[in-house]
């Protein structure tokens, strides 16, 4: 029994961490009122950067730190553009996403050829119990810390106030730009960690298109958990087990005579990413708790307050 | 803060002021076709291309090669085809963007157009059958019959079952229906449940790719040996393929379709109440509600229109004589839609959501798109060590032009003043 639980935890942790941390990052960014549509671009770029970093510095932890810092800078850029200028959050997010896709393919593809041809060893994390368990504990701990930060600290109150109504927050003396930059930096660092773990702990290699779409799955996880750090653990577990045990599910369904192709298995998390937020928003009690911040994605332009 | 009325200023001056720390002020009035309307898209294309050129230069793509190949894109005959497809897609996208429905799922809607059009073309308007090898020669002279696979063991022929014009029409209609219905899913989610349509349309693109793979591999897989080997459908009967204009790769039918869509959308938008309501649904949905119109229906309408047009673009790609079949997607980075669904977003934004400007920017962006393709093949031929990917060459210029445009777009409504 204990062995089974341990086996389940060990097999599900890699995908769980790389979904949960990204959804946590998305929650922080969106709580501050920035519509986070660049998440998939950042995720794809992060996997590419982690791959390049681990191929050059040969140390997974160092690669993880470099990647998450660089992705964090991307978050600062997004927060700055959307808060400083009166421009659509969706437009900034979408164009950053395309730049992210392009740069990921541009930077990592030559490295992947080099790795394959010259046999460069990739020092990713070993799949041993200690490493996997420590990442599980670290990510759960980060979740709890985020919860404390968001709901028990001054910074958290400021972040939530800025997301609910930036004009009021600003007139009460909060620096909207500063708070959003901090929130986006923290959020994107978590997205960077998650996308590095996608390479370093989960797939252990890069191919073109790696990580594409996982940003959107994390986005859906975060939305269906109402952007709450602790509820996110449950929804992440659902999605992680869906991805990890999709082929087992396929076997079970086939044994009942329902024919499911491999393509349906690949599409399953994406279909769930549509359906699970849907159920969360149809149930009235959940809908009230899980409402998005009031000014999520709305343009806040401090120069125009008096107009 | 002072509201300043713009008298005369130039985009570039404003830009320099902005960079050197000036503050934004609201422009109180602007003419319809002033310098900004034309200047900002062109400026952002220029700056975006410069950024991409610098990015490619850092790995060793010479600048003159970049400029040459992008320039060659403007003269390439293939450009015409991309601009026709982009026109078709972007006209639909502008209609939905005008209603503030950000449909970025044109990729998935095109895929559904391909599937539905392909299904009608392959299984209803024509069909593929095995014949015995000895009888094969007797079928060759029959009109409407085409040999798909002349293998001596199991030859396959394609038999036309209806008038080819009717068949093409059915293909186009089925594609538009399928694209529109696929677009209605995120539209319902947005209008009645309140789920953001940007995320859901993008997620549904990934679902559409896998549905495509499933249908191509299991349901629509062809009979011929090559089709069974490479997980693809049979070729469409050549009578059902669209007709190439002489000397180009663009087909007569897609030109007619895109012009038809362009004119009809322009009419719909300018002269009908539907167009007016779409516009109001985008700018002031409360007004629609207060005069007793359900604005949610116009969200559905906007999505349906753009999905239908994207479906038609999908079937135009499939029925091009150069393609004529559906193949399994090996990697989601290189779908059979050539990522035109995302490129069309660039076209619609650069044209400032003005339908009249869409053909111009469809041509400009198609040239850049084609130039990117030329650059890739040229670089990979000349510098084998560089290995640029197609995704890098489409996404980096699209993304950087868009990002620059989004930032510069501010200057249309605001002018920059130094605060004294």
Residues in chain B: 420
Q: Please give the ipTM for the structure prediction.
A: 0.89
B 281-300 residues with CB below 8 A of A? none
Nearest CA in chain A to B101: A90
- Bridge partners of A146? none
**Domains (range + CATH), chain B:** 62-124+163-382 (1.10.3470), 126-160 (no CATH)
* Helix-then-strand count for chain B, H and E: 17, 5
What pLDDT, in 10s, does the model give residues A266-299?
899 999 999 988 887 788 887 777 888 888 888 8
Query: What string of pLDDT tens digits covers the 307 residues of chain A?
Result: 788 888 888 899 999 999 999 999 999 999 999 999 999 999 999 999 999 999 999 899 999 999 999 999 999 999 999 998 888 898 899 899 999 999 999 999 989 998 988 888 888 888 888 889 999 999 999 999 999 999 999 999 999 999 999 999 998 999 999 999 999 999 999 999 999 999 999 998 898 888 898 999 999 999 888 899 999 999 999 999 999 988 888 888 889 888 888 898 889 999 999 998 888 778 888 777 788 888 888 888 776 654 3
Q: Which of A98, A220, A277 sits opposite B395 (nearest CB)?
A: A98
From B347's Cα to the closest Cα of chain A, the distance in A is 13
Which structure tokens are listed for B185? Answer: 């899913």
Tell me, yes or no, if B260 comes closer than 8 A to chain A by beta carbon.
no
- Taking residue B365's Cβ as centre, other Cβ atoms within 10 Å add up to 27
- Taking residue B311's Cβ as centre, other Cβ atoms within 10 Å add up to 33
Largest CA distance in chain A: 66
**Chain mean position to CA B103:** 12
| 3-class secondary-structure state, position B148 | strand
Contacts of B64 by beta carbon, 8 Å cutoff, 6+ apart: none
**Chain mean position to CA A38:** 10
Helices (H), B192-294: 197-214, 225-230, 252-271, 273-283, 285-290
Query: Cβ distance B88 to B312 under 8 Å?
Result: yes
Which residues on chain A are in Cβ contact (under 8 Å) with B402? 91, 94-95, 98
Nearest CA in chain B to A276: B195
Q: Which of B102, B387, B396 sits opposite A110 (nearest CB)?
A: B387
Contacts of A125 by beta carbon, 8 Å cutoff, 6+ apart: A60, A131, A132, A135, A200, A201
Q: Backbone phi, then psi, for B156, in 5-degree steps?
A: -125, 135
Q: Give the DSSP H/E element, type plus range, for residue B185.
A: helix B164-188
CB contact under 8 A, B210 and A35: no
**How many whole angstroms separate alpha carbon A228 and alpha carbon A233?**
9
pTM: 0.89
Which residues on chain A are in Cβ contact (under 8 Å) with B214? 261, 263-264
pLDDT at B77: 85
Query: Cβ distance B189 to A278 under 8 Å?
Result: yes
Which residues on chain B are in Cβ contact (under 8 Å) with A85? 24, 407, 410
- B contact test, residue of A105, A108, A217, A227 with most B CBs within 10 A: A105
Confidence of residue B24 (pLDDT cuts 50, 70, 90): low
């Amino acid at each position: 029994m204990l062995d089974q639980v341990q086996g389940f935890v060990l097999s599900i942790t890699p995908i769980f961490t790389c979904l949960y941390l990204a959804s946590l990052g998305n929650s922080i960014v969106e709580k501050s009122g920035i519509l986070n549509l660049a998440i998939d671009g950042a995720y794809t770029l992060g996997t590419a950067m982690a791959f390049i970093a681990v191929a050059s510095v040969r140390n997974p932890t160092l690669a993880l730190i470099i990647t998450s810092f660089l992705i964090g800078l991307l978050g600062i850029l997004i927060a700055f553009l959307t808060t400083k200028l009166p421009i659509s959050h969706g437009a900034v997010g979408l164009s950053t996403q395309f730049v992210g896709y392009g740069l990921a393919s541009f930077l990592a593809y030559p490295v992947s050829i080099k790795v394959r041809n010259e046999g460069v060893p990739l020092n990713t994390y070993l799949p041993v119990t200690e490493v996997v368990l420590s990442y599980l504990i670290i990510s759960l701990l980060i979740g709890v810390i985020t919860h404390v930060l968001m709901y028990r600290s001054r910074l958290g109150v400021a972040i939530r106030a800025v997301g609910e109504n930036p004009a009021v927050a600003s007139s009460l003396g909060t620096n909207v730009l500063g708070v959003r930059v901090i929130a986006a930096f923290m959020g994107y660092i978590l997205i960077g960690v998650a996308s590095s773990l996608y390479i370093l702990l989960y797939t252990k290699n890069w191919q073109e298109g790696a990580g594409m779409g996982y940003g959107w799955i994390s986005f859906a996880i975060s939305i269906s958990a109402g952007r709450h750090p602790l509820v996110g653990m449950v929804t992440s577990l659902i999605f992680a087990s869906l991805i990890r045990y999709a082929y087992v599910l396929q076997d079970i369904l086939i044994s009942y005579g329902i024919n499911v192709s491999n393509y349906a298995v690949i599409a399953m998390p994406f279909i769930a990413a549509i359906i699970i937020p849907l159920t969360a928003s149809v149930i009235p009690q959940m809908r009230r708790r899980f409402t998005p911040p009031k000014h999520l994605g709305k343009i806040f332009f401090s120069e125009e307050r008096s107009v | 803060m002072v509201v300043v009325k713009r008298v005369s200023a130039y985009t570039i001056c404003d830009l320099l002021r902005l960079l050197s720390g000036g503050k934004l002020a609201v422009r109180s009035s602007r003419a319809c076709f002033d310098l900004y309307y034309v200047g900002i898209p062109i400026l952002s294309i220029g700056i975006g291309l410069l950024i991409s050129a610098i990015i490619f230069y850092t790995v060793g793509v010479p600048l003159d090669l970049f400029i040459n190949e992008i320039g060659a894109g403007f003269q390439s005959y293939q450009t015409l085809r991309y601009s026709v497809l982009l026109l078709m897609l972007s006209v639909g996208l502008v209609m939905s963007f005008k209603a503030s429905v950000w449909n970025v799922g044109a990729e998935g809607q095109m895929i559904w157009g391909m599937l539905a059009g392909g299904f009608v073309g392959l299984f209803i308007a024509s069909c593929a059958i095995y014949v015995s090898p000895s009888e094969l020669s007797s079928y060759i002279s029959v009109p409407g019959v085409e040999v798909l696979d002349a293998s001596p063991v199991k030859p396959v022929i394609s038999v036309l079952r209806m008038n080819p014009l009717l068949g093409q029409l059915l293909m186009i209609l089925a594609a538009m229906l399928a694209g529109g219905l696929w677009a209605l899913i995120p539209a319902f989610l947005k209008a009645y449940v309140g789920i953001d349509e940007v995320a859901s349309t993008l997620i549904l693109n990934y679902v559409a790719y896998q549905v495509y793979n499933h249908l191509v591999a299991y349901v629509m897989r062809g009979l011929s040996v090559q089709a069974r080997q490479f997980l693809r459908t049979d070729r469409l009967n050549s009578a059902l393929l669209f007709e190439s204009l002489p000397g180009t790769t663009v087909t007569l039918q897609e030109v007619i379709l895109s012009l038809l869509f362009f004119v009809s959308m322009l009419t719909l938008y300018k002269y009908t109440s539907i167009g007016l309501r779409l516009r109001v649904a985008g700018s002031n949905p409360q007004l629609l509600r207060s005069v007793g119109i359900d604005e949610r229906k116009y969200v559905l309408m906007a999505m349906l229109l753009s999905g239908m047009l994207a479906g038609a673009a999908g079937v135009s790609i499939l029925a091009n004589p150069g393609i004529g079949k559906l193949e399994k997607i090996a990697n989601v980075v290189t779908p059979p839609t050539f990522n035109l669904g995302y490129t069309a977003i660039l076209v619609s934004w650069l044209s400032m959501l003005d339908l009249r400007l869409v053909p111009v920017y469809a041509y400009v962006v198609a040239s850049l798109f084609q130039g990117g393709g030329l650059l890739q093949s040229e670089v990979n031929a000349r510098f084998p060590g560089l290995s640029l990917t197609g995704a890098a060459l489409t996404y980096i210029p699209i993304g950087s032009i868009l990002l620059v445009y989004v930032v510069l777009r501010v200057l249309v409504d605001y002018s920059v003043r130094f605060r004294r």
